[in-house]
Amino acid sequence: MAYRETEKMRMRKAEARQRIVSCAYQCVAKSGFHSARVTTIAAMAGVATGTIYRHFESKEDLFAEIFRLATQREVDKVAEALSTQGDATVRLEAALRQFAERALRGPVMAWSLIAEPVDPKVEEERLAYRQAYAELFEKAISEGIEEGCIPEQDARQSSTCLVGAIAESLVGPLSPAQAASQAEPINDNYEPLVNSILRFCIQGLTGTRR
Amino acid sequence: MAYRETEKMRMRKAEARQRIVSCAYQCVAKSGFHSARVTTIAAMAGVATGTIYRHFESKEDLFAEIFRLATQREVDKVAEALSTQGDATVRLEAALRQFAERALRGPVMAWSLIAEPVDPKVEEERLAYRQAYAELFEKAISEGIEEGCIPEQDARQSSTCLVGAIAESLVGPLSPAQAASQAEPINDNYEPLVNSILRFCIQGLTGTRR
DNA sequence: ACAAGAAATGAATAATGATTCACTGTTTAA
DNA sequence: TTAAACAGTGAATCATTATTCATTTCTTGT
């Protein structure tokens, strides 16, 4: 035997893989899973099309990894916001703000994660993603119920409403504007919009006027 | 000239067109725009593939018409519910119930109308659809604000949250279950689910515990 | 420098599905 | 009954992309 995989090679391969992942991520963030082409990703990453298939079984597998990555970031941020000081309502508000602001800053990716139709393997990841959120919010809502700052309710169902209200608030604006406003970050000042959404969400949860 | 379109022919053509529309509608209702095949629709309608193109410029045009049709039904129902007796909150609740129940009864079509990615011409119809809802709910919310039963707020934004909360509550359950629960009507008893969603929505609007 | 093994390449292939169009069948008015 | 005009047909075409694989290029240990 004359060839043995060496550290240097392992590194180089890892770098290529990383570059592929990063470019795929950018493509998805720019226009969603559906329009992300394997060929384009390869070109961006400076490798041949076939090389993608040395690192990933299939497009689906690559995308599943992208989904997982993107998801992890989002869920972590929300979990972080939920684990700060304050009563459940305050923590939930912080978490929802985090969720909404991040979604508004990257609406295409947010839409891809929440609602874009994707292949089965990616859909599986989405199930995990939904459950991660559902569990996080559910836990916080349940804590709020125990603390007494949130009235009795189906925590899982409320969590779904929260995600939906926020998602629709950004998917709606996204759809028609697409070509026109996609180039720019749409709007610098999300504050009023986010406040408006949050007021609705928190009222929906607590039934207390804000 | 030896041939002139006669009433009989006009009728026959209209029937064929109607059959195409109806079959296309069924296909979309069963699995969304994306998986509705021109060939399948033609077969269902008992005509050749090419015949579809004698009645519609393109698949996109056919689908735009389907979207418009489906949309009209939904918007009409909501408008009807909004024009009954009672104060704004009561009317809104009736309308939201109508919206939610219909969506739950036909979740695939609901998802197609609300969030499925579609071609530009269909997307245009969606814009009109969104605006129709936005205007209906907005008007009712504004009336509620004048009546004093709903506090001051951005009516358009709230309307978006309403639609989102309901949509997500049915899209979520839809996604993973797909194959498994699509055969049956999922569940006969929507009452508790709908009540739960509505509580959240009305609280979100009014900030008053239900 | 060499040969064995691996990695990279990208043009060719395969699969899918909308759309076309040359042809066949029908309807109409004279 | 005939021919002009139209309607219907569906196999063939075109377009789009993921995926493959024979070939080339690079790495490594001797």
What CATH number does the domain containing B12 carry? Answer: 1.10.10.60
Whether B20 has a pLDDT exceeding 60, the answer reads yes
Q: What is the mean pLDDT of residues B1-27?
A: 93
Q: How far apart are CA B128 and CA A178, in angstroms?
A: 16
Whether B152 has a pLDDT exceeding 90, the answer reads yes
pLDDT for res A169: 87
Q: Is residue A3 part of a domain?
A: no
Q: Is residue B157 part of a domain?
A: yes
- Looking at the 3D structure of chain B, how many domains does it have? 2
Facing residue for B208 by CB, picked from A127, A169, A207: A207
> What is the crossing angle of helices B59-82 and B7-31, to 10°?
80
Q: Which residues of chain A neighbour B191 with C-beta distances below 8 Å? A: none
Do B35 and B124 share a domain, yes or no? no
pLDDT digits (tens, 9 = 90+) for A142-173: 999 999 999 999 999 999 999 889 888 877 66
Give percent of chain B with pLDDT exceeding 70.
91
- pLDDT, averaged across chain A: 90
Confidence of residue B187 (pLDDT cuts 50, 70, 90): low
- Identity (one letter) of the amino acid at A32? G
**Given the structure tokens 């997307």, which residue do they identify?**
B123
Q: Is residue B29 part of a domain?
A: yes
pLDDT digits (tens, 9 = 90+) for A44-77: 999 999 999 999 999 999 999 999 999 999 999 9
**Whats the size of chain A, residue-wise?**
210
> What is the crossing angle of helices A59-82 and A88-105, to 10°?
140
- pLDDT, averaged across chain B: 90
Q: Let me know: does B138 contact B185? Beta carbons within 8 Å.
A: no
A49 touches strand D (CB under 7 A): yes
Whether A176 has a pLDDT exceeding 70, the answer reads no
Helix (H) or strand (E) holding B25: helix B7-31
Do A40 and A70 share a domain, yes or no? no
Mutate to test the interface with B, among A131, A154, A168, A178 (most CBs of B within 10 A): A168
- Protein residues in reach of strand C (CB < 7 A): A 1-3, 5, 9, 12-13, 16, 46-51, 53-54; B 1-6, 8-9, 36-39, 49-50, 53, 58-60
Q: Which two tokens stand for residue B184?
A: 């049956």
Do B144 and B181 share a domain, yes or no? yes
Facing residue for A157 by CB, picked from B123, B127, B196: B196
Do A14 and A46 share a domain, yes or no? yes
pLDDT digits (tens, 9 = 90+) for A84-101: 999 999 999 999 999 999
Residues of A with a Cβ under 8 Å from any B Cβ are 32, 34, 115-117, 123, 126-127, 130, 151, 153-154, 157-158, 160-169, 171-172, 175-176, 193, 196-197, 199-201, 203-210
Could you list the residue range(s) of the whole structural domain that residue B137 is in? Answer: 59-206
Are the beta carbons of B171 and A205 separated by less than 8 Å? no
Q: Phi/psi at B208 (nearest 5 deg)?
A: -125, 130
**Given the structure tokens 């949509």, which residue do they identify?**
B167
Do B30 and B84 share a domain, yes or no? no
Our CA-based measurement puts residue A60 at a distance from the nearest CA of chain B, in whole angstroms, of 17
pLDDT for res B33: 95
Q: How far apart are CA A111 and CA A76, in angstroms?
A: 18
Q: How far apart are CA A59 and CA A123, in angstroms?
A: 14
Q: What is the mean pLDDT of residues A189-209?
A: 94
Q: Using alpha carbons only, how large is chain B's radius of gyration in Å? A: 20
